[in-house]
Amino acid sequence: MIADFEYFAPKTVEAALSLLSQYKEEAKIIAGGQSMLIIMKQGLITPEYLIDIKGIAALDYIKYDEGKGLRIGALTIHRAIEKSPVIQKHFGVLSEMERNLATIQTRNWGTIGGNLCHGDPAGDPAPVLIALNASLKLASLGRERIIEMEEFSKDYLEVALEPNEMLTEIQVPVPPPHTGTAHEKLMVMKGDMGIIGAAVSITLRDGVCQDARIVLSNAASVPLRVKEAEKVLIGKRVNEGLLAKAGEIASKEADPPSDVHGSTEYRREMVKVFVRRAARVALERAKAVSQEV
């Protein structure tokens, strides 16, 4: 059963921020409600004030600019990201990731902002956005700040939001030239939460890996960037042996949970496989874009 609360449905960002600044810790934002309602029903949170932001049309957008890159409003639904022609053209990995996230029904209602703010380390968008070097715009009354996506998750279901703040925008820079990015996740059925996931971005210069970002989901209490594994690839002409080594090092850096879907040991093995697979695809994509220019 859900405890009583007072409900507000502001139609502007300013109105939502005013309510947040007034009620702070006693208030919670609700967007799609897909995760909020579950934890409210479980009694894990009992907000006195619920601020429903789903009706704030100004936070539902996808914009692309060759200089600034991609801007996604926090209330954009997963399905819009999956289907966006501009995302499919410039950030295909985001569209692919969304295609494997839950069912169409869930993607048609859940928001990217809600997904990130829920702070579930098993979530799919965060690792891909970290691999893409994305940032988040957080707003409070009269103030805005930008935080790197990599710094946003603090612990299991905990993110770096102050009680008076809300996420308004996701910002994804244009990737450096000759960059390929890929996401792979282990699912029992398509659309399941990933038992393990890996997002990898590789940048080449003259065939040598200039930069690599490798990020895991469901392998720690936060989306985990495995920097020692990245070092295995950086500065080298990447081959199958190095991909396998990166997977092995990533598996050592991971601290995966054990649950009904898989033991810690099983997840460690799967980290090896999925890092290797995602890195292989990212490498092929980086080579392909290098040949285009």
Ligand X SMILES: Cc1cc2nc3c(=O)[nH]c(=O)nc-3n(C[C@H](O)[C@H](O)[C@H](O)COP(=O)(O)OP(=O)(O)OC[C@H]3O[C@@H](n4cnc5c(N)ncnc54)[C@H](O)[C@@H]3O)c2cc1C
Contact residues for ligand X, defined by CB under 6 A: 28-36, 74, 78, 101-102, 106, 110-111, 113-115, 117-118, 123-125, 161, 166-167, 193
Question: CB-based contacts of 2: which residues, under 8 Å, 6+ apart?
Answer: 37, 40, 41
**By C-beta, is 193 or 234 nearer to ligand X?**
193
Token reading at 211: 């930069």
With 0-12 / 13-18 / 19 or more C-beta atoms within 10 angstroms meaning exposed / middle / buried, residue 204 is buried
The helix (run of H) or strand (run of E) holding residue 23 is helix 13-23
Residue 97 neighbours by CB distance under 10 Å: 26
**By C-beta, is 82 or 124 nearer to ligand X?**
124
Cβ atoms of residues 181 and 175 within 8 Å: yes
**By C-beta, is 204 or 278 nearer to ligand X?**
278
Q: Least distance (Å) from ligand X to the CB of residue 78?
A: 6
Core vs surface per residue 238-272: b (16+ CB within 10 A) or e: beeebbbbbbbbbbebbebbeeebbeeeebbebbb
Q: Least distance (Å) from ligand X to the CB of residue 125?
A: 6
Q: Which residues pair with 170 in a beta bridge?
A: 72, 136
**By C-beta, is 101 or 204 nearer to ligand X?**
101
Q: Least distance (Å) from ligand X to the CB of residue 231?
A: 28
**By C-beta, is 69 or 125 nearer to ligand X?**
125
Q: Least distance (Å) from ligand X to the CB of residue 260?
A: 16
Question: CB-based contacts of 107: which residues, under 8 Å, 6+ apart?
Answer: 77, 78, 79, 82, 98, 101
Q: Least distance (Å) from ligand X to the CB of residue 254?
A: 18
DSSP string for residues in 220-238: SSS-EE-HHHHHHHTTS--
**By C-beta, is 140 or 290 nearer to ligand X?**
140
Q: Least distance (Å) from ligand X to the CB of residue 119?
A: 8
Token reading at 229: 């594994």
Q: Least distance (Å) from ligand X to the CB of residue 59?
A: 7
Q: Which residues pair with 180 in a beta bridge?
A: 202
Token reading at 27: 């208030």
**By C-beta, is 121 or 175 nearer to ligand X?**
121
Residue nearest to ligand X (CB): 114
